[in-house]
Structure 1
Amino acid sequence: MNLKRAITVDDLTNFEVYSDPQLAPNGDGYAFVSTTVNADKEYESQLFYQDMKDEKIRQWTFTKGRNSHPRFSPDGTSVVFQSDRSGIPQIWRLPLGGGEAKQITTFKNGATNPAWSKDGNYIIFTASLEKDDCIHNQEEQTKEARQKEQEENNKQPKIISRLAYKSDAGGFLDEKKSQLILYNIETQQFTPLTTADADHTYQDISPNGSVLFAANLQEEADYELTNDLYTVNIYTKELTKITKEKGIYYEASFSPSGEKIACFGNDLTYASATLTELYLFDLVSGERKCLSEEWDFELGDAMIGDTRIGASEAGPIWSKDEQSIYFLGTDHGATGLYSVSVSSKLETLYKNNNHVFGFSYDMEQESFVVGISSPTEPCNYYSFKRGDEIGKLTNANATFLTEVELIEPEEIQFKAEDGWDIQGWLLRPYGFEKGKKYPFVLEIHGGPHAMYGQTFFHEMQVLAAKGYVVLYTNPRGSHGYGQEFVNACRHDYGGKDYLDVMNAVDYALENFPFIDEERLGVTGGSYGGFMTNWIVGHSNRFKAAVTQRSISNWLSFYGVSDIGYFFNKWEHGHDLLDDPEKLWEISPLKYAKNVETPLLILHGEQDFRCPIEQAEQLFVTLKHLKKEVEFVRFPGANHELSRSGDPKLRMERLNHICRWFEKYIR
């Protein structure tokens, strides 16, 4: 008999999500961000601080809206952070000795991602500026003025001359670019550090005042998909390019002395399926070294979930003696904390079949605070020191976890038709009873170069709570299993990746007799939506399907997606004009006549990654053929709907998924 209730769609408003742990300079405590969905079904993020000695948690911010990105001053007396409490993200400073937070910036388009110089005299942040904007007379608009300006802009024609003219995150792009700005604490003056016609991303600052940033400053940046590292000195404004080899470099950090830089990156050898490498740049000798050359796993956090709101540190982070670098790694359905020496010796510091989603490192005490999620624990922070057991610091979502039954997944391993090893997980339904038969839902992840694994996933738990057996796997193309595996679906969409997910269903039916083979459902988003569309065009095995933010036609995808003009070439080996017949062969739309499975199509109207015309084509074609199909459009939603979209729409989306499966397979 179950003592706890089943989780619901509405429980999205009943748990909190932690992110961005930041240890104080003295190591006595750490700040972090907690995000919830409030009573108005809007996101709210607040800053908290936990003392490591008494373990008490103190709330620092209380304003409605989103407060995030806390960064301690070097002397630990204040914290700078970003907040949209005034209506748009701006930079604020909070004195820790007492007193209210003070607003530092009033930039028209907002200001984000603050950081301190090592001497504590300056704050560096990012602001979106047009070429001729003056940073000395920036005034923040009222909400009404912003709305009026937006309405006027929407009435004007858009003149487009760039290849990359829109993005899923930013919408239609204008002339504004992300620039780095320096704020002098004493004089309260702003100084531009970058002005090039490109977006600049802050990385780190050295002891001598060199700001490290990433940017694509190529003359034809839309055609050269690179991301180089540069430094600009805050005193001399001297600009230096660090990277010389073609590639994409990011998450870079200076060693404590400022003489070396560690960063993630890759040379695109396998296009978007290239494993992330860890590079070391010696600024004295000019040498570049790849520390991860002999490894075969993905660096950073490639875990997919639907509740990881807010950024967290994944590395690389230097040790005080500059002999080690710390980072997260993705491997076989889990992420862990790793260390590598400057001589490339790899060491696993912590990995325990769960999701380490972020960490902070204290150089003086050589200790860590790590954020961990598991399928039955949305998030918590733990203390960790090399060689010691981890110690639990927080008890997040305690009431929620006391009341709600979360299902622990059962890991499965099976052989694909060609002998490749495939990993997955199965959730039994809430209130499971032996001898009963249950309907089944197969979940297929997006990417395709990402990973399902041992993290909390609201959608999966809701489906299990509704009485479904839920299966999710990592078919070839997924991260976590090495370079050959992640590259294996390129130029073969709908091939062996399709067989992998179908073989997974075969395995589940053979080994879990409580699954009713007459009541099978399938769903997935993005690439998972493509695969859902592909499945219903090639098999009548499933009695219901839900395709989300999907791809149906690779021919049109080339010209409408914000990444289509290079993604087709990267993933399929063909552009539109190279081999349109090949792109049509792997387009699910071609096989619409074969579809007999009732299909629900869910799509955001502002999705620029997989634009809604992909859903429109599929719906109209199937409806014209008098197939069983329904189309739900989500206004204002982009490709991130299921993960960080409007909470009200996220909940509506889940309700529609449950409704469709209830109708056809319950």
Structure 2
Amino acid sequence: MAKRAIQVDDFLNFEVYSDPQFSPDGSKYAYVSTTINENKDYESNLFIQNMDEADARQWTFGHNKNSSPRFSPDNKSVVFQSNRSGMPQLWLLPLDGGEAKQLTTFKNGAVDPVWSKDGKFIIFTALLEEGDDVLDQKELSKEERQKENEETNKKPLVVKKLNYKSDSLGFLDDKKSQIILYDVEKENFIQLTNGDYHYAYQDISPNGTTVLFSGNISENAEYELKSDIYALDIASREITRLTDGKGSYYSAVFSPSGNKIAYLGHKQEYLNATLTKLYIYDLETKEHTCLSTEWDFPIGDLIAGDTRLGSSENGPVWSNDENRLFFIGSIYGATNLYEVSLQGELKELYNVDSHVFGFSYNRLKDSFIIGVSTPTNPCNFYLLDANSQVKQLTDANRKFLNEVEIGTPERISFKAKDGWDVHGWILRPYDYKEGAKYPLILEIHGGPHVMYGQTFFHEMQLLAAKGYVVLYINPRGSHGYGQTYVNACRGDYGGGDYQDLMSAVDYVLETYEFIDKERLGVTGGSYGGFMTNWIVGHTNRFKAAVTQRSISNWLSFYGVSDIGYFFNKWQHGFDLLDDPKALWDISPLKYASNVDTPLLILHSEQDYRCPIEQGEQLYVTLKHLKKDVEFVRFPGANHELSRSGKPELRIERLNHICSWFEKYL
């Protein structure tokens, strides 16, 4: 029986896995499964699977968000994070049965629990105000919190800092993330950090005397877009900066002996287009060594998508013998699991042209649980043993995949007009027939410094199901193709990147006879929205366009975006105060009179990354010019609408995109 085409609301049926965690003895692993319930709310629950059993068992239940499962070193319990009481708090679950015990009742919640190596402490992070007492924390009831919010909303917001808002957090207040110890035996709390800084916990030494954290605790922190690794002596509270104060450093972990620290970062040589590198710091010699000097790919998972939910380990992770490190790297549209020796010898442990989104290491057997997504399967977990043998452990989304036709993207590579090599994919329409002609939609990713890749992408599959050829590429500025490539769009927005996209369209029109050159569409979000706006102002070859969470005016972006005050300088080389004319010259709004392509503008009202005034300016200008334009505003949504926004609004967004292209293509 033929499978049906994928539908707009099919993402409601996905089960999305994340955060695999081996138990200390390697006999089992835990993970997080996120779904959307009948109330169209996200919920996440914990599962456990014994390595000698075929199926996983569900640990937590209900319409809550449970995450971050961490086994105790003695393998007797699991600490995890849950919002079942109202705010995210820490809970302890015995492995031999019984109910979970609530450990924290912090007013603003407690998150990201980890165990000390001896199991005596649980370390976590909590938002605290100056003067808060960790021994006297009380979680507010739903009614109390509602009353507090109502009182806050009656007061004016007094702004004194440069970075006073965040797309993910909204308007910022005086609360700061502090590192807290929970003494498991004494059942009390010890606050390790304080002051007007955010502290991001990294690791605790094997002997339990030192905590690593990242952040910026200098007096000029709000003006310095840097992050360092610090060591905090638990007994004395003395803080020592370990990195050079000249870049962005994070993901620091002690070696098993505690003699070395591995960490990630870079010296911002190319600002936010700099490849992430891997470093070793020797605590005895005080020497820093970069292991990745000869690599031309970034460490970490940089694949763009709309199906991933929840965080997972990307590395670095030490081997048990302390001679190797493991991590995920992004290269040529895929993410792989790598191993590197302390001498810099690099080895691919898992490379099947897919999206490795996370892993967990079994120190006893030198094996891994790896989380993998492919263009035709949202996610699954696999066992990768010491002999490089791979065994599938889960079969997520089996029912959905058995019912729905999922297309397999075809790789393409071509030369841009100036000779640069560019890589991408096309996806043929559902029920494709030889000899028929199909309209094409060009998709453009955001960032710009991410990459499209070998992962499941609901929106791409949906457009193919609607009868379109979907074209998506990694133009210069994308990660995965080396430092020169990812840096190439800086100072050249609308230049080489625009030519790459137009060359991609030229290439597929010449190569594939089934594409109707008279029915071309284009869409993209964030940087992809900027590029969509730029395209319709510079060519009329597209018959319809949808711009999402876009940028239309770099002049106003400088003052309204949560990153505008530094992003212009970092990406263009100048800001509003340096050269307003140059910013206007690369603003799509300048070219509004050239736009003849019917344009749909989609924008979230709570978007602080690319604020809605960017969409408003573009809409009013085009409408004033009597152009064919519509504007859709999404209330209560932010920059993440397409990925983790309210499910009802995600459905509305996709419906508007499909309807616009159906109308004009």
User: Residues 365 and 386 of structure 2 are in contact (CA less than 8 Å); yes or no, is this contact kept in structure 1?
Assistant: no
Q: How far off is 1:238 after superposition?
A: 3.0
Deviation at 1:389, TM superposition (A): 2.4
> For residue 356 of structure 2, what is the aligned residue in structure 1?
356
Aligned-partner Cα distance in 2 for 1:522–1:552? 16
- Mapping of residues 128-207 of structure 1, within 5 Å: 128-207=127-206
Is 1:635 aligned with 2:625?
A: no
> Alignment partner of 1:299: what SS?
coil
Cα distance in 1, alignment partners of residues 547 and 366 from structure 2: 47
Corresponding position: 1:472 with 2:498: no
- The answer (yes or no) to whether the contact 2:554–2:584 under 8 Å persists in 1 is yes
Please report how far the alpha carbon of residue 237 of structure 1 lies from its aligned counterpart in structure 2 after TM superposition: 2.7
Residue equivalent to 2:570: 570
Identity among equivalent pairs (%): 66
SS of the residue corresponding to residue 590 of structure 1 reads helix
Partner of 2:227 in structure 1?
227
Aligned equivalents of 1:365, 1:419: Cα separation in 2: 48
Maintained 8 Å contact 1:46/1:61: yes
> What is the Cα deviation at residue 391 of structure 1?
1.0
Structure 1 unpaired stretches of 5+? none
- Quote how far apart the aligned CAs of 1:207 are: 1.1
State the alpha-carbon separation in 1 of the partners of residues 603 and 566 from structure 2. Answer: 23
Letter in 1 for 2:32: V
TM-score by length of structure 1 reads 0.99
Q: Take 2:268 and 2:262, find their aligned partners in 1: how far apart are those partners?
A: 19
1:103 correspondence with 2:102: yes
Measure the CA separation in 2 of the matches of 1:497 and 1:387. 43
Would you say the 8 A contact 1:356–1:373 is kept in 2?
Answer: yes
What pairs with 1:436-475 in structure 2 (closer than 5 Å)? Answer: 436-475=436-475
Q: Which residue of 1 aligns with 2:69?
A: 70
Q: Distance in 2 between matches of 1:442 and 1:518?
A: 14
Is the aligned partner of 1:17 residue 2:12? no
Secondary structure (helix, strand or coil) at the match of 1:298 reads coil
Asked whether the equivalents of residues 449 and 478 of structure 1 are also in contact (C-alpha less than 8 Å), the reply is yes
C-alpha deviation, 1:258, in angstroms: 1.0
Q: Contact between 1:12 and 1:651, CA under 8 Å: does it hold in 2?
A: no
Q: Which residue of 1 aligns with 2:406?
A: 406
Counterparts of 1:343 and 1:215 in 2: how far apart (Å)? Answer: 29
Q: Assess if the C-alpha contact under 8 Å between 2:227 and 2:245 holds in 1.
A: no
1:518 positional shift: 1.0
| Equivalence for 1:246 | 246
Q: CA deviation at 1:225?
A: 1.0
Post-superposition shift, 1:196?
A: 2.4
Kindly indicate whether the alpha-carbon contact (under 8 Å) linking 1:476 and 1:497 is maintained by their aligned counterparts in 2. Answer: yes
Provide TM-score, normalisation by structure 2.
0.99
- 1:522 corresponds in structure 2 to 522
Deviation string, structure 1 residues 526-569 (Cα, Å, up to 9, x no partner): 00000000000001111100000000000000011111111100
Residue equivalent to 1:483: 483
Kept after mapping to 2: 8 A contact 1:349/1:386: no
Post-superposition offset of 1:244: 2.5
Shifted more, 646-655 versus 609-618: the winner is 646-655
CA contact (8 A) 1:429 1:464 kept: yes
Partner of 1:275: 275
Q: Cα offset for 1:63?
A: 2.1
- Partner of 1:576, secondary structure, is coil
3-state SS, counterpart of residue 407 of structure 1: coil
Distance in structure 2 (CA, Å) of the matches to 1:594 and 1:294: 46
Conserved in 1, the CA contact under 8 Å of 2:490 and 2:572? yes
Taking the aligned partners of 1:181 and 1:394, their CA distance within structure 2 comes to 35
Q: Which amino acid aligns with 2:283?
A: L
Distance (whole Å) between structure 2 residues aligned to residue 603 and residue 138 of structure 1 = 39
1:289 corresponds to which residue? 289
Q: Which moved more, 1:227-236 or 1:90-99?
A: 227-236
SS of residue in 1 equivalent to 2:113 = strand
C-alpha separation between the residues in 1 aligned to 2:652 and 2:635? 12
Q: Report the alpha carbon displacement of residue 354 of structure 1 after superposing the two structures with TM.
A: 0.5
Superposed CA deviations along residues 183-235 of structure 1, whole A, max 9, x for unmatched, are 11111111101102111111111112111111111111121111111122334
Q: C-alpha deviations, 1:226-281, integer Å up to 9, x for none?
A: 11111223344332221124111111111001111111101110011000010111
Moved more, 451-460 or 227-236: 227-236
Kindly provide the amino acid, as one letter, of the partner of residue 402 in structure 2: T
Equivalence map 1:262-341=2 (5 Å): 262-341=262-341
Give the superposition deviation at 1:575. Answer: 1.2
Residue 538 (structure 2) aligns with:
538
- Indicate the RMSD between aligned Cα atoms, in angstroms: 0.9
- The residue type paired with residue 129 of structure 1 is L
Matched-pair contact (CA < 8 Å) for 2:382–2:394: yes
Q: Hey, what's the Cα distance between the residues in 2 that align with 1:175 and 1:126?
A: 16
User: Residues of 2 paired with 1:124 and 1:527: CA distance?
Assistant: 37
1:213 match: 213
